[in-house]
Amino acid sequence: MPSALSYPGVYVEEVPSGVRTLTGVATSITAFVGRAASGPTNNPVMLTSFADYERQFGGLAVDCPMAYAVRDFYLNGGALALVVRLVGTAADPDAADAPDPASAATLTLPAGLVLTAASLGAWGGRLSAAVDYDTDNGLPAADTTRFNLRLRYRVRPGRDDFVFETIGSVCTTATDPRYLPLVLERESALVRALGAVPAARPTATVTPTTITWIDAVGGNDGPALRGDDLLGNAAGRTGIHALAHADLFNLLVIPPLARNTASLPSTYTPVPANVWQAALAMCVERRAMLVVDPDPAWATPAASAVSNAQTGRTGLNLSGPGARNAALYFPCLRMVDPLRDSRVDTFMPGGAVAGIMARTDVARGVWKAPAGLDAALNGVQDLQINLNDLQNGQLNPLGINCLRSMGVNGRVVWGARTLRGADASADEYKYVPVRRLALFLEESLYRGTQWVVFEPNDEPLWAQVRLNLGAFMQGLFRQGAFQGASARDAYFVKCDSQTTTQADINLGVLNVVVGFAPLKPAEFVVIKIQQMAGQIPT
């Protein structure tokens, strides 16, 4: 009621309804962790297209498998990607033969102004800079500290394919709003100021007829990634632990450590088993799914592909209840590599499969298995090995999802089991869509019930919880997320004196029980055909 009723008349008061709309979280934000040509390191960056990846991380690079995985993700329907760039370190940096660490290229302009590439890597060695005085501040004599900085970046070595930046009317005075280091932080994707900025502006290298470009020197990608680089450090949030900076991700893809293009098809340095195990533990903690790539060596020779895949799956040691959050896909893909004269080469399936999951979520929902004739692999020329039904029948019961060539239907994902989905495990989370739906519900309910904390723990609160969670579950039921002809058969929400006793109330505990009847994929379709006996008189 109003705080004070002092005068005769009508008082108006707004009474809360208790409705707090619960919104489902995203289901297909995919995190990629690996090597990139450029970009920030150990910092997850949200991307919405492969063009974003090209701007932030340099696009495709022959020695960066992650670039191709991100490309395949967007090619197959992905929308949101979180990319973490890592740089390799030497196993023993103090050894005499230790490779040089990753470093950034530098640009030294006349008058002692030194710029550095915006990120580590050899890409910075393709930068150039020029200076002119044709600023928007009038004649050069008007302000002898102001100048224009022109930047040029050669996208590919040996080709006249450039990206240009012009940073106009910058100044060498620290109190000026256009102070060079601050402007470069805001406006340039290519360079940053290094060290103290000289008081005098650099000498102009642009005349009415010529431009003299000053080239960058140095820049090194560092050694190849090692398993320890991927494992990183939880305290320092490096490696896969850099994802701790991210608020949410649903899928995790870890491309191979390195790609060797000395031969065709390319060979890869696979992700070590201990890295897969650490990544799975993180996925369990963050309520995400791990998309596991096979080792391309499993498919050679072709006659031993099935037995190699069985042995390789065991060698990953992704077992126990946590394996519900992982799915393995086999074999690898054969796709065109535009950086190698459009030759068809071998690539990992993880990025493409994650894209198909995102595409399926949008078209049908997270409860639909990302497999079947609709789960076509876009951009794929062929598979590393074409499995037949009998070979598929040996791998599927072990929880290995096969990629198949289905004639006119193209190459498709033909399996939807988690790594806990082996028949011998008899796990309730045998199927990928069932597990992903459960993770979606867990994360949505976790985020949507934060308002409950510290509310009075009694029947009015319990009724509000039942109302809001029930409305959320009912919305999913109407979308077809659960099995059952009625809401009673599809889900339930319990929050009352039976779930929360007086002892729980005294301990400050509120118990909510939410149940759902998941839809499970029709993995085996059995058609029975029978001859009719005909009109036999009896």
pLDDT in tens, 249-285: 999 999 999 999 988 899 999 999 999 999 999 999 9
Q: What is the mean pLDDT of the chain?
A: 93
Question: How many of the other CB atoms lie within 10 Å of CB of 11?
Answer: 10
List, for residues 321-332, the tens digit of each pLDDT value: 999 999 999 999
User: 107: part of which helix (H) or strand (E)?
Assistant: strand 106-108
- Residue 455's pLDDT is 95
- Residue 52's pLDDT is 96
- Residue 146's pLDDT is 87
Find the farthest-apart pair of alpha carbons in the chain and give their distance in angstroms, rounded.
118
- Residue 276's pLDDT is 97
Tokens of 403: 């990629």
205 has a pLDDT exceeding 70: yes
List, for residues 300-311, the tens digit of each pLDDT value: 999 999 999 999
List, for residues 485-521, the tens digit of each pLDDT value: 999 999 999 999 999 999 999 999 999 999 999 999 9
DSSP sequence for 365-393: -TTS-S-STT-B-TT--EESS---HHHHH
137 has a pLDDT exceeding 70: no
Contact 36, 452 (CB under 8 A): no
Q: Under 8 Å CB-to-CB from 367, ≥6 apart: which residues?
A: 433, 434, 436, 437, 480, 481, 482, 518, 519
Give the span between the Cα atoms of 53 and 38, in whole angstroms.
10
- The domains of the chain, with CATH numbers, are 30-90+226-434 (3.40.50.11780), 106-215 (no CATH), 455-538 (no CATH)
Backbone angles phi, psi at 289, to 5 degrees: -105, 140
Helix, strand or coil for residue 225?
Answer: coil
Tokens of 288: 């995400």
Asked which of 12-16, 249-253, 364-368 is least confident by mean pLDDT, the reply is: 12-16
**pLDDT class of 50 with cuts at 50, 70, 90:** very high
139 has a pLDDT exceeding 60: no
Write down the residue that tokens 């960066």 correspond to: 64
Q: What's the average model confidence in pLDDT over 437-446?
A: 97
Give the span between the Cα atoms of 265 and 345, in whole angstroms.
5
67 has a pLDDT exceeding 70: yes
Asked which of 122-136, 488-502, 521-535 is least confident by mean pLDDT, the reply is: 521-535
DSSP sequence for 168-183: EEEES-TTSTTBHHHH
* Helices 50-57/65-75 angle, 10° precision: 160
Give the span between the Cα atoms of 139 and 525, in whole angstroms.
80
pTM: 0.93
